[in-house]
Copies of this chain bind each other. A is one copy, B any other.
């Protein structure tokens, strides 16, 4: 939790104007870099949101009439829907937090809480989404061997699409998780989320 920045700039009894200008220049550069970094995270979160929302909608609209099969009869498909819906809601919240941070230059929660919150949830939800998508894939492949798919092929195709969209959402969430992990370690080492 040390902060080396003041040590680098300080250590002089009578401060000359040069280090101050340099420090100002440095902080402007790091602010710009942080903004670019946050914009990248925002793009990843937007992609995650779109894919997981689409996956959840594809799954929930998979049984339009009252005839079986229904998606909620299969526990793996229920898991796929729940995981995608949870991640979509989480991504929406995180997008809001990112926009807030880019526009106001401050985090919604206290800085330490925010970086740990983002990283922890990214990791857990990435694992959750991958787990659901894998379980969904196993179920979809198993269904292909049963008479369900020959009788109602549209059901199986729509399930496949939903699972595939979930995988795409996972990919972007995993990228966000890497970036937020980087922010955590910057915070632990520098005492701030600025990575310069």
Name A's B-contacting residues (CB within 8 A): 4, 75-76, 123, 127, 130-139, 141-142, 174, 181-182, 185-186, 189, 195
Distance (whole angstroms) from the CB of A65 to the closest CB of chain B: 24
Q: Check B139–A142 contact: CB distance below 8 A.
A: yes
Complex: how many Å from CA A141 to CA B133?
16
Complex: how many Å from CA A51 to CA B132?
22
Q: Which residues of chain B are within 8 angstroms of A132 by Cβ–Cβ distance?
A: 134
Distance (whole angstroms) from the CB of A72 to the closest CB of chain B: 15
Distance (whole angstroms) from the CB of A129 to the closest CB of chain B: 10
Distance (whole angstroms) from the CB of A190 to the closest CB of chain B: 8
Complex: how many Å from CA A185 to CA B134?
30
Q: Check A134–B130 contact: CB distance below 8 A.
A: yes
Q: Check A138–B76 contact: CB distance below 8 A.
A: yes
Q: Which residue of chain B is the closest to A124 with respect to CB atoms?
A: B174
Complex: how many Å from CA A133 to CA B133?
12
Q: Which residue of chain B is the closest to A75 with respect to CB atoms?
A: B141
Instruction: Give the residue of B127, B136, B137, B138 whose beta carbon is less than 8 angstroms from that of A130.
Output: B127
Distance (whole angstroms) from the CB of A30 to the closest CB of chain B: 13
Q: Which residues of chain B are within 8 angstroms of A139 by Cβ–Cβ distance?
A: 138, 142
If A132-B134, A189-B195 are given as contacts, then 14 extra A-B residue pairs at C-beta distance below 8 Å, sorted by A number, are: A4-B4, A76-B142, A127-B174, A130-B130, A130-B131, A130-B134, A131-B131, A131-B134, A138-B139, A138-B142, A139-B142, A181-B181, A181-B185, A185-B189
